[in-house]
């Protein structure tokens, strides 16, 4: 510590608290969708969240949810909130994982006493989200539209390679690819038709 | 919308707000370190944050900060807060980037009117953080200890390959590797000596 060095004047008041919240509509919305026994049921919720996020103008065309694997209990949801929250990390997957961990009271969904969890997301995860999945403790992930579909409307997905998936699989995370891909891709097209902004172009 | 489907009983009250905060000690701490003209000055702050995070017991041995590139103005800091906040995404880099964007009032540090920004971090970024860098709008990143040093004390860094860095460089993000690596690595060893937990083992 260099106590003789003058205080750095530019830093105060630096931002040191940020609040991450879902759009208000998500709460009521999820109440009207019931039954998450199958992967398709779960993916329909992720896609419905993505679509509603577009229709409400609350963010990009991406939705995600975390479930308890066996019971199908809905634990958390996320919708892309990059522009709404002014935070480039607020992809649907990161939000759903954060809220799931907050609900579980642990930084890992593999904490002792917790049941296995799955992340279901309307689009193939970007590089950041794939990394976030690895640290989250989910034991499985299912995604809908492939990265090519996101790229077709202008979204970059970052450095994700076959070896990236292999890395996760080697650590016991199972991957389901392209589930209800057509329905998921339709939301990307809807966003494009409505002239939604591409925040990471 | 399927209004005839009964409400999903397990979801309410789901968590839909999370507050991300720095440890209180960071505010006063940074006031005692001044002058961030050179990369080495900036890295010394990142390393000091990492070390203090270990000594205070507030998280893992990782620190990061965002600066305005030319003036050296300190914009934000981050320290690993995975366990403290119960949130596996709260790596030092993600926190520093979030707070920088909040300070800038934009989801990208390349927004019109903003000056170029650099992220300086005490350790090579994991897969999630490297993706987060790509979306953040920083134009440069400098890291200290290499991933091998983190792995040596038990931390997984995830799927990062030479092609991952190339992907960022192709999009105009410059990378400085191994800056003050020995000093940075010393903090990892300190954490190990003190028996700090490896939350993603």
Per-residue tokens: B143:
């890291």
Cα–Cα distance, A64 to B90 (Å, whole number): 19
**pLDDT score of A119 more than 80:** yes
Neighbours of A84 (CB within 10 A): 18
Question: Closest approach of chain B CAs to the CA of A92, in angstroms?
Answer: 12
Do B53 and B132 form a contact (C-beta atoms < 8 A)?
A: no
State the smallest CA–CA distance between residue A159 and chain B in angstroms.
5
Sign for the pseudo-dihedral over CA of A130, A136, A137, A139: negative
Contacts of A108 in chain B (CB under 8 A): 88, 199-200
Q: Is the Cβ–Cβ distance between B180 and B140 less than 8 Å?
A: no
Q: How close B138 comes to chain A (CA, Å)?
A: 11
What are A43-100's pLDDT values in tens digits?
Answer: 999 999 999 999 999 999 999 999 999 999 999 999 999 999 999 999 999 999 999 9
Q: Is the ipTM of this complex over 0.95?
A: no
Alpha helices (H) along chain A: 25-31, 39-56, 82-85, 92-104, 127-136, 147-152, 162-170, 181-193
Residue B83 phi/psi, 5-degree rounding, is -75, -40
CB contact under 8 A, B94 and A89: yes
The string of pLDDT tens digits covering residues B113-152 is: 999 999 999 999 999 999 999 999 999 999 999 999 999 9
For residue B24, what are the contacts with CB-CB under 8 A and spacing of at least 6?
A: none
Contact list, A90 vs chain B (CB under 8 Å): 107
Q: Which of A98, A95, A140, A94 has its CA nearest to residue A117?
A: A140
Using CA coordinates, name the residue in chain A closest to B133: A128
How much is the average pLDDT of B29-57?
A: 89
At A79 the three-state DSSP class reads: strand
Q: Is the dihedral of CA B113, B115, B121, B125 positive or negative?
A: positive
Task: Please report how the helices B127-136 and B92-104 are oriented relative to each other, as an axis angle in degrees rounded to 10.
Answer: 10
- pLDDT of residue A194 exceeding 90, the answer is yes
B199 touches chain A (CB under 8 A): yes
Give yes or no for B58 touching A (CB within 8 A). Answer: no
Q: Which of B27, B88, B159 sits opposite A163 (nearest CB)?
A: B159
Q: Which residue of B has its CA nearest to A81?
A: B107
For chain B, domains (ranges, CATH) are 39-190 (3.40.140.10)
Residue B8 at interface with chain A, using a CB cutoff of 8 Å: yes
Q: Between residues B93 and A27, which one has the greater pLDDT?
A: B93
Out of B82, B98, B159, name the one closest to residue A87 (CB): B98
Strand B17-21, strand A140-145: pairing: unpaired
Chain A contacts in chain B segment 111-150 (CB below 8 A): 126-132, 134-137
Token output for A144: 């809908």
- For the entire predicted model, the pTM comes to 0.94
Testing the interface with A: which of B69, B101, B173 to mutate, by most A Cβ within 10 A? B101
> pLDDT tens digits for A130-170?
999 999 999 999 999 999 999 999 999 999 999 999 999 99
């Amino acid at each position: 510590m260099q106590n003789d060095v003058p205080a750095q004047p530019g830093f105060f008041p630096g931002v040191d608290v940020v609040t991450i919240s879902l759009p208000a509509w998500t709460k009521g919305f999820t109440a009207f969708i019931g039954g998450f026994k199958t992967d398709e049921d779960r993916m329909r919720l992720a896609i419905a969240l993505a679509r509603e996020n577009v229709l409400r103008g609350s963010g990009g065309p991406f939705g995600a949810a975390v479930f308890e694997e066996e019971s199908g209990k809905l634990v958390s949801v996320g919708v892309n909130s990059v522009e709404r929250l002014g935070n480039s990390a607020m992809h649907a997957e990161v939000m759903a994982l954060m809220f799931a961990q907050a609900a579980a009271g642990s930084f890992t969904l593999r904490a002792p006493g917790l049941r296995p969890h799955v992340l279901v997301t309307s689009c193939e995860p970007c590089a950041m989200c794939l990394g976030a999945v690895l640290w989250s403790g989910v034991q499985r992930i299912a995604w809908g539209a492939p990265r090519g579909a996101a790229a077709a409307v202008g979204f970059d997905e970052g450095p994700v390679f076959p070896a990236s998936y292999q890395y996760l699989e080697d650590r016991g995370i199972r991957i389901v690819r392209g589930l209800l891909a057509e329905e998921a891709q339709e939301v990307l097209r809807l966003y494009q038709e409505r002239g939604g902004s591409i925040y990471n172009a």
